[in-house]
A and B are shown apart, each in its own frame.
Chain A
Amino acid sequence: MTRNTKFGIIAPLSLHPDAAGDLRALMISDSASGGKIAAFLQQAKNDPKIIATLLDHDFGDDRKGPYHVSKWLGFWNTGLNLWRVKLWAFPKGSLSYRIVYAYQPSTQHYHVLAIVHRDFDYQTDHVVTQRILTAYRSLGITTIH
């Protein structure tokens, strides 16, 4: 359920089981990065100001904010409501993971679909991309266009 607050509605955020698996694996392989990503996601759920920015394409570009939000344009342009956020960390490049998520406008629900390494370059035929698309389609989100 969404929660009404004095400063707006806090939309719900949950992790697809695949993304939860990614985060569990990251907590084993690189707990420092995993801890930051997990803490960010929990605070995004708690803070309407953070979660509102997750639909603001190019928010934080050039390190103007603490993270950079971007549509996954290759799929966005075909009607899929897919996004990714890159958290800036110091020293530069010390946080090597991105969060891929979908947004369901009808319920204002954010679905985290994957935590991917920065080496992942969003190729459409990549096995991780295919996994993300399968997860996205399971959500039944209406296309944008």
Chain B
Amino acid sequence: MQPSVAPAGAVDIDDLMAEFEAVPATAKAIAKGRQWVAKSFYKGSNTLAALRLQRGWSQVELSRQVGTSQSYIGRLETGGIDPQLSTVRKIALALGVPVADLVESLSPSGLELQP
């Protein structure tokens, strides 16, 4: 596979979201959009992504709340890393969920793409 390079002028969705979230009116619509994604695509799921989306947060926002990087949150959501307990505690505190619930949520199997 060739290395992927976005074509000139291409816009990264994360950059566009940051643009929308800089304006209060559109930031509210984005947060509601994420909650809709949680409800529609992660129905009954308690994965980290679902918990984050239920709050209307981006990975960037969760990483800011926890004091880590977006890429770290991304890898956590896809099961790419095994976090330290101290990190789990910070994330649970940020999301307002019990630590035990968050430990369970770090198994990324909850995407409900089929009814």
Known contacts A46-B49, A65-B114; decide if A14 and B77 are in contact (CB<8 Å).
Answer: no
Give how many A-B residue pairs fall within 8 Å (CB-CB): 147
A36 and B7 in contact (CB under 8 A), knowing A6-B78, A31-B29, A45-B14? no
Stretch in contact with the other chain, from A47-55, A71-79, A121-129: A47-55
Chain A residues positioned under 8 Å from B5 (CB to CB): 107
Q: Decide: A50 and B113 in contact? CB cutoff 8 A.
A: yes
Give the residue name and chain of the A residue nearest to B53 (CB).
A43
Residue of B nearest to A10 (CB): B78
| Residue count of chain B within 8 Å CB distance of chain A | 46
- Residues of A in contact, count (CB < 8 Å): 56
Q: How far is the CA of A62 from the CA of B101 in the complex (A)?
A: 34
| A10 surroundings in chain B (CB, below 8 A) | 78
CB < 8 Å: which of B29, B31, B77 contacts A34?
B29
Chain B residues numbered 46-92 whose CB sits less than 8 Å from any CB in chain A:
49, 53, 58-59, 74-75, 77-80
A39 with B36: CB separation less than 8 A: yes
Q: Does B100 contact A (CB under 8 A)?
A: no
Partner of B37, one of A12, A17, A43, A109: A43
Say which residue of A53, A64, A66, A107 sits within 8 Å of B4 (CB atoms): A107
Tell whether A42 pairs with B111 under 8 Å between CB atoms, given A5-B75, A15-B10, A17-B11. no
CB of B99 within 8 A of chain A?
no
Residue-by-residue, is B6-19 near A (CB-CB < 8 Å gives 1, otherwise 0)?
11011111101101
**Could you give 18 example pairs across A and B, Cβ below 8 Å?**
A5-B78, A7-B108, A14-B10, A15-B10, A23-B16, A31-B29, A38-B13, A38-B20, A38-B30, A39-B33, A42-B13, A43-B34, A47-B111, A50-B111, A50-B113, A107-B5, A108-B4, A111-B7
A→B interface (CB under 8 Å):
1-7, 10-17, 19-20, 23-24, 27, 31-32, 34-43, 45-50, 53, 59-60, 64-66, 87-89, 104, 106-109, 111-112, 138-139
* 3 pairs of A and B residues whose beta carbons are closest in the complex: A35-B33, A39-B33, A35-B29
